[in-house]
Amino acid sequence: MSAPTDSSVQTFHGGCPHDCPDTCSMVYTVKDKKLISVTGNKSHPMTRGGLCVKLKDYEKRHYHPDRLLYPLKRIGTKGSKQFKRISWDEALDEITNKWKAIIDTDGPHAIMPNSYLGNQGLVHGLNGGDAFFNRMGATVCERTFCGEGSCTAWLLTVGPTAGVDPESFAHAKYIVIWACNSVSTNLHHWHIIHEAQKRGAKVVVVDSYASKTAKEADWHIAPKPGTDGALAMAMMHVIISEGLTDQDYIDHYTIGYQELAERAKTRTPEWAAEITGISADDIRKFAREYATTPPAVIRLGVALERSYGGSQAIRAVTSLPALIGAWRHVGGGALQFPVWEHPYKFDVISRPDLIPEGTPVVNNLQLGRALTGELDLKTPIKSMMVWNTNPLTQAPETDKIVKGLEREALFLVVAEHFMSDTAAYADIILPAAMGAEMEDMVLSWGHLYLTYNQKCIDPPGEALPNNEIFRQLAKRMGYTDANFQWNDTECLENYVDWDSPTCDGIDLDYLRQHGFARLKAFGDKDTRARHAKGEFPTPSGKCHFLVEGAKNFVAGPFRQMYDGFQPGEDLDSLPDYVPSRETPATNPELAAKYPLNIISPKSHGFLNSCYANVTEKIKGQGEQFVMINQLDATARNIKAGDVVKVFNDRGAFEGVARISDDVNAGIVVATLGYWRQLNNGTVNCISSAEFGDMGHSTTFSDNLVEVALG
């Protein structure tokens, strides 16, 4: 970027590395080799110069006084946060010597990586350590915190398509935001939706509580948690029975309509009203408006998957646009993850060819069960490396994880920015670099732009970028494959398919100059109607209402691109409503002890657990709270501001009661991300590690609890 007038001040291109669909293009401003400000890139069509409340002072995070600056070795009991400073040579030697000894005695399956999207970079993010651990032959970590069941359902129905360009929502007349709190978690897309709303588009939010986005909608529809599939199936019933379908589109571009129509015959609005708590009249109104107001578009949120039947619900919702021919129109159809059309070469990043046949898989949702022996692994886990994730707040059944991490026999390595809940249990802590301190391209799962991030300052102290950590570990382990020698620039040259049609006219030099680039295929926001004539990237080229012989699977990037030990269960050939495991209706015996459904959405002020240790962000977000309806509060003698305990057989946490009509009776809300060490437990203490119906998805919204005065 061009330098400002002051010759000591320079600006650089940045990309927000956090787990968010917006993937904002940013501008780093540096003076005297210090990062002095981070702003949104005004030239980016989605970022538009603005950042969310998490990122608006991102430079302060780089210089936070609690930041980890040097390698540390544990000298106290696990969890005591007693460490001493050591050199990088000492740290790396201890790690690799320990790993070599474990491999000699127990084999590489006794070692397990654990990462997620604390950094979304292609080089330093989710998959950045895959090649190293795949070369080792370590147990594969299947990472399904968020969106993986949604991916399975989407891919089965319409294939790896980006669907509707999020910018094309500007052309929509009927916008459905289904289980997504855009204002808090997809802010820059919300701006586009809100502008369409001001021009006359109707915005409908389907969410089980009145989120910030629901309050901005023209109509908020609040189904009981986990019943969205019944709502979608009843919409199908209305659309089909009232002749609101686009039969020409169905005949030419879909498979399985007759079978779907037969199933939908019994999924009446009256049937769904009993399940969802939404009146039959409102269900009919919703279906009719959606089917008769083109262009109609649906934004699917990942929260839709967070109950046992959530992925089947997503199949049903994903089928709706083809029923009414919504895909014919610019701004019509559905949006899940645009990443499916990005030209990333995950096989090159992860190197699944290095994985020995028969390598076992452990899912990160069931980490507590794995570490405590509950999974009865053939080879128990004796060492784990954690980076880009904080399982002691983000994973379910966290009390079990604590017990597992307390084991002296577990050698734990953590690469981190701060002394997180998980890092407190480490044997060796490695200080990791932050966004402005390393070169990368940030994966974008919410729009159709490539986003470049320049290194503009050196890391403080002795912190190192993740990729450099793995390069040095690989050298000490004796791994000589070419990819372990690549610097960050060479990684980017190899990790992206620059010859793809979507990259026409785009290369790494272009990104260095401009900071971002829109992918070229299938038109721009004003012309893209990706599936106007079908052309779905499915085996048939059509939208599949019906998938014969479907088997359950987890998409490759979430399991180190490994094909072995996929779930493999038979799946229903058609979408349908599948009840949750833990609700008063489906599990009355459990509900007699724990009568309240709990929802645990993302926090407005934190990004997962990032920033939940920053005083200013905690002030903005507020202390850990429990939102409860007045009827439920009165029945428990709870008043606003009381400290309450939320509990079930899995665990408990405390929060401050917020009495609100934003939640219906029978439901409580507590947001995700608070740190355990700063609170008496966090919401995932009560969360189940049981999988949802597809893609080994989470069941964070499929949990019964009781609430009492603390």
Q: What is the mean pLDDT of the chain?
A: 97
pLDDT at 521: 80
Residue 660 reports pLDDT greater than 80: yes
Pairing of strands 411-416, 428-431: parallel
Taking phi over 0 as left and psi of -120 to 50 as alpha, with beta for the rest, 515 belongs to left
The whole-angstrom separation of Cα 341 and Cα 330 is: 18
pLDDT, tens only, 446-468 = 999 999 999 999 999 999 999 99
Place 1 in a pLDDT band, splitting at 50, 70 and 90.
low
The whole-angstrom separation of Cα 87 and Cα 101 is: 21
The whole-angstrom separation of Cα 123 and Cα 687 is: 32
Buried b (16+ CB within 10 A) or exposed e, 127-152: bbbbbbbbbbbbbbbbbbbbbbbbbb
The mean pLDDT value for 217-233 works out to 98
Residue 278 reports pLDDT greater than 90: yes
pLDDT at 8: 85
- The runs of H, that is alpha helices, within 265-405 are 269-276, 280-292, 310-324, 346-350, 367-371, 391-394, 398-405
pLDDT, tens only, 412-429 = 999 999 999 999 999 999
Buried b (16+ CB within 10 A) or exposed e, 273-300: bebbebebeebbebbeebbebbbbbbbb
Per DSSP (E only), the strands in 134-284 are: 140-142, 174-178, 202-206, 219-221, 254-255
Task: Please name the residues in contact with 215: beta carbons below 8 A apart, sequence gap of 6 or more.
Answer: none
The mean pLDDT value for 567-592 works out to 97
Strand-pair partners of 177: 205, 299
The mean pLDDT value for 276-288 works out to 98
The whole-angstrom separation of Cα 190 and Cα 329 is: 20
For the CA atoms of 384, 389, 390, 391, the dihedral, rounded to the nearest 10 degrees, stands at: -60
The mean pLDDT value for 659-676 works out to 97
Owner of token pair 């991916």: 151
pLDDT at 298: 98
Residue 2 reports pLDDT greater than 60: no
Assess contact for 344 and 495: CB atoms under 8 A.
Answer: yes
pLDDT, tens only, 344-396 = 999 999 999 999 999 999 999 999 999 999 999 999 999 999 999 999 999 99
pLDDT, tens only, 252-268 = 999 999 999 999 999 99
> What does the longest C-alpha to C-alpha distance in the chain come to?
72
pLDDT at 414: 98
Burial of 86 (0-12, 13-18, 19+ CB in 10 A): middle
Residue 330 reports pLDDT greater than 70: yes
Residue 322 reports pLDDT greater than 80: yes
pLDDT, tens only, 500-537 = 999 999 999 999 999 999 999 889 999 999 999 999 99
pLDDT at 5: 57
Structural domains present in the chain: 9-63 (3.30.200.210), 72-143+345-442+449-518 (3.40.50.740), 154-339+528-570 (3.40.228.10), 588-709 (2.40.40.20)
Residue 3 reports pLDDT greater than 70: no
Report CA torsion sign: 326, 328, 332, 337. positive
Residue 174 reports pLDDT greater than 60: yes
Residue 58 reports pLDDT greater than 60: yes
Q: What percent of the chain has pLDDT over 90?
A: 98
- Pick from 141, 564, 75, 151: which is nearest to 383 by CA? 141
Q: Roughly how many angstroms between the first and final C-alpha of the chain, as a whole number? A: 54
The mean pLDDT value for 214-237 works out to 98
Q: Which amino acid is at 672?
A: L
The whole-angstrom separation of Cα 493 and Cα 458 is: 22
pLDDT at 607: 92
Owner of token pair 């904080």: 390
